[in-house]
Structure 1
């Protein structure tokens, strides 16, 4: 009920600390239900719970919607890990799904529990209800008197109390229902989790050494040939390569980044399939598997470095965008995943599922904490200071995270870049403190101090020599 009330009161037009406030009573519901069912608190359960709480701090820091969405999804995943437990691949893959499986059964489980405890319990819950109602009555009466006696105190109460009106009643009721069902699902899962570790998968039929190793050795040779050229380029051979191909730096970078990204993803698939059918008769087979797949992993790391270098060239030529920073972050995580796979090949794969889950959640948390819109704005402002080239039309579509960096631009570029952001912040001025991020509050202070008085000259200032209206807006 506390989770439902918090959801109804605090979930509104924006995301901030309100998501964390709603998660606190839901966490207690799951912890108390697990304790009543005889479950013990394990170290990894605490790791997943703390990680989920840390991810819900991202909406309180960043105003951008896309890092917030990723953080919420990752927090739900870690919540599923904390409630279900487990260490195997099925636990990591299906743990978050099992949380939603408890939404329907949670209501039936709660109804049965309430009926069992209702008989003969009036002597316990009636005094509690009476005490709560008296406390609420005292708060309302004396709070109203003090608010009428002092305007400053009235403003403080108004800023702290949720804004509730009849127009918002349907939304509040929906949030109440969602909060109630969500908390019951968490409690039901905590009391009776699905044991995904009990799922077993038969390993693939082991192949002979020649049949298994030959395709992978050929693939390694192909990777080695490609990487030899890439290493030459990375160590200063761009002029020769570009003179022979007739491409510019930007064209060379754009031409290969997506292919290299897909090559990295497919390599992970190849490694997974190769492990399934790897020969495993003795020590010699294990050494062969480690040598062949270890070589493939090392060569794939060079591909990752090449892809990131190409993206760096493209960003230098055309600036940083949301898509570019997102796929670059994904490529970095893929490189980290390959390093973890290499470590598992040396020290054993028992911790690999958890390690990959921790690394993915860590990258999502870091991605939200650095506030990518702020990084995008900073890179483009630095690029303008160096080359005097900037695409204001793109930058003014960023979130409030970008305001401190864009504030350094000269007029009228500064006002042109900040005009749309200022209008959005003005429209959202009525949001409560718990729906406002730290970046949004800081942006309001900056705009209140300096304004956007130069926006009248935006028509000429936004004409960017790089801007191509026919270009693909989703190109990297």
Structure 2
């Protein structure tokens, strides 16, 4: 009996320590999110918050082997200090939420249901801090409930009383009105909003870690026999599709890649512009057909199954031709009109889609791995690269190069880019576009003029832009 009592006491002490650690983690997360992530134009403070999160997670996460999955979250946080292009800020927050869910999800056959369930699970734990506080003060719990009930009754009564008395007496009403106006103006609603968002983030992160301690008694799913496809139907379908793509490939090699004279008076730029997104859409359709076919025939053997695999390989090769055609069309269009943000994103997407097609080739031959997980990994890698590469710098370089070479009349698009483009815009200072370039630097500097200088806002891109602007004014 004595041994059992000691074991129970030890277990109770460990549970209390865990609760205290989780509560401290939640409070630190709330304060850190408000102070480091939410300030306007937050820069270096965002990766600082990410590092502090990793340190805190090391002390509270039960399974520390999962923490390697935190690496993508940290990489996303670097965007705030390396680039001033804000198009990824909102998306990074959303992606980070799912990456937190990925960090605490089980990597098994039910990955997507687990990921979605883990992402929304923290909301179920929002009430736990209050329950723990009440449990820790069981003797005072009835008193606390009575005080809360009294406040719920008293506050509406006081509001009604003040309204009626203000209407009954003008002097009293004026005094109450002046008091409420002063109180209203003294409150910073932006600060209140930041605190509220910080608390929400703190509760969410607390709930995420708390969920990792919860017992997950998931019933094992009985393996269902995989459905088998009709090899005759699939062979006819794939053969017909392959025949059409063969004719299309001949046209591509004859006119686009071999640069023969185009019919109907088309120029290569006009030819390249038309059909790009349709081809991109078709590559997605082809990959879907291939994956579906392999899924329904991967357990089949015999000549018909081998023919299906051969046709899938051929269709994958034709998809690679479509991808090459799309890339070349975009390249011709870019040579004529210069790089833009959208074209930059498309080039990157096509490159990573090509990597995905190579994985698809291997999957057709040996369908023994989760190809969807591979696609997700490639997609995440693409998104992480976009966060680290200064897109506006390369876009501005393309636009300015074409302007200086006389292939472009203006640089209006380049002047709309973020301060990442500042080193390239500086090349225009000694050209006919000098006034436009000076206006660009003045506009960039005015963005921060109304904000107090704080260490949280440090950003390498904006700092470089500021120095370039100062050097230009000094030279004048």
For the Cα contact (< 8 Å) 1:250–1:313, is it kept in 2?
yes
In structure 2, the CA distance between the partners of 1:177 and 1:200, relative to structure 1 (3 Å rule), is farther
- State yes or no: 1:425 paired with 2:445: yes
Q: Which runs of 5+ in 2 are unaligned?
A: 1-26, 140-186
| 1:157-196 aligned within 5 A | 166=188, 168-192=190-214
Whether contact under 8 Å (2:47, 2:80) holds in the other structure is no
Secondary structure (helix, strand or coil) at the match of 1:396 reads helix
Change (3 A) 1:232 1:199: farther
Task: Give the 5 Å matches for 1:430-469.
Answer: 430=451, 432-451=454-473
CA contact (8 A) 1:322 1:373 kept: yes
Shift of the 3–234 alpha-carbon distance from structure 1 to 2, 3 Å rule, reads same
Please identify, of 20-29 and 306-315, the stretch whose mean Cα deviation from structure 2 is larger: 20-29
Equivalent residue, structure 2, for 1:256: 275
Structure 2 vs 1, CA of residues 356 and 15 (structure 1 numbering), >3 Å: closer, same or farther?
A: farther
Cα 1:30–1:204 shift into 2, 3 Å: same
Residue matched to 1:353: 372
Shift of the 393–353 alpha-carbon distance from structure 1 to 2, 3 Å rule, reads: same
Deviation at 1:187, TM superposition (A): 1.3
Write out per-residue CA displacement over residues 354-409 of structure 1, whole angstroms, 9 at most, x where no aligned residue.
32222111111111222111110011122223334144222211111111112112
Q: Structure 2: how far apart are the matches of 1:28 and 1:191?
A: 18
C-alpha distance in structure 2 between counterparts of 1:289 and 1:76, whole Å:
41
Are 2:309 and 2:364, in contact at CA under 8 Å, matched by a contact in 1? yes
Which of the pair has more CA radius of gyration? 2
- The C-alpha deviation readout for 1:263-304, integer Å capped at 9, x for no partner, is 112122222332343373335565344322222112111111
Which residue of structure 1 aligns with residue 33 of structure 2?
A: 7
TM-score (norm 1): 0.75
Counterpart mapping for 1:272-287 below 5 A: 272-278=291-297, 280-282=299-301, 284=303, 287=306
Q: Does 1:416 align with 2:442?
A: no
Unaligned runs of 5+ in 1: 121-164, 455-476
Structure 2 counterpart SS, 1:407: helix
Paired position in structure 1 for 2:5: none
Note closer, same or farther for the CA distance 1:101–1:72 as it changes in structure 2 (3 Å cut). closer
Q: 1:96 to 1:12 in 2, by over 3 A?
A: farther
- SS of residue in 1 equivalent to 2:126: helix
Contact 1:208 1:279 (C-alpha < 8 Å) held by counterparts: no
Q: Please list, as runs of the form range in 1=range in 2, the aligned pairs for 1:58-207 lying within 5 A after superposition.
A: 58-88=79-109, 90-91=110-111, 93-94=112-113, 96-116=115-135, 166=188, 168-192=190-214, 205-207=227-229
**1:304–1:335 CA contact under 8 A, matched in 2:** yes
Q: What is the aligned residue count?
A: 400
Could you tell me whether the CA contact under 8 Å between 2:400 and 2:411 is conserved in 1? no
Residue 55 (str. 1) matches residue 76 (str. 2): yes
Q: Which moved more, 1:216-225 or 1:104-113?
A: 104-113
Superposed counterparts of 1:272-421, under 5 Å? 272-278=291-297, 280-282=299-301, 284=303, 287-409=306-428, 410-417=430-437, 419-420=439-440
Q: 1:169 to 1:281 in 2, by over 3 A?
A: closer
**Alignment RMSD, CA only?**
3.1
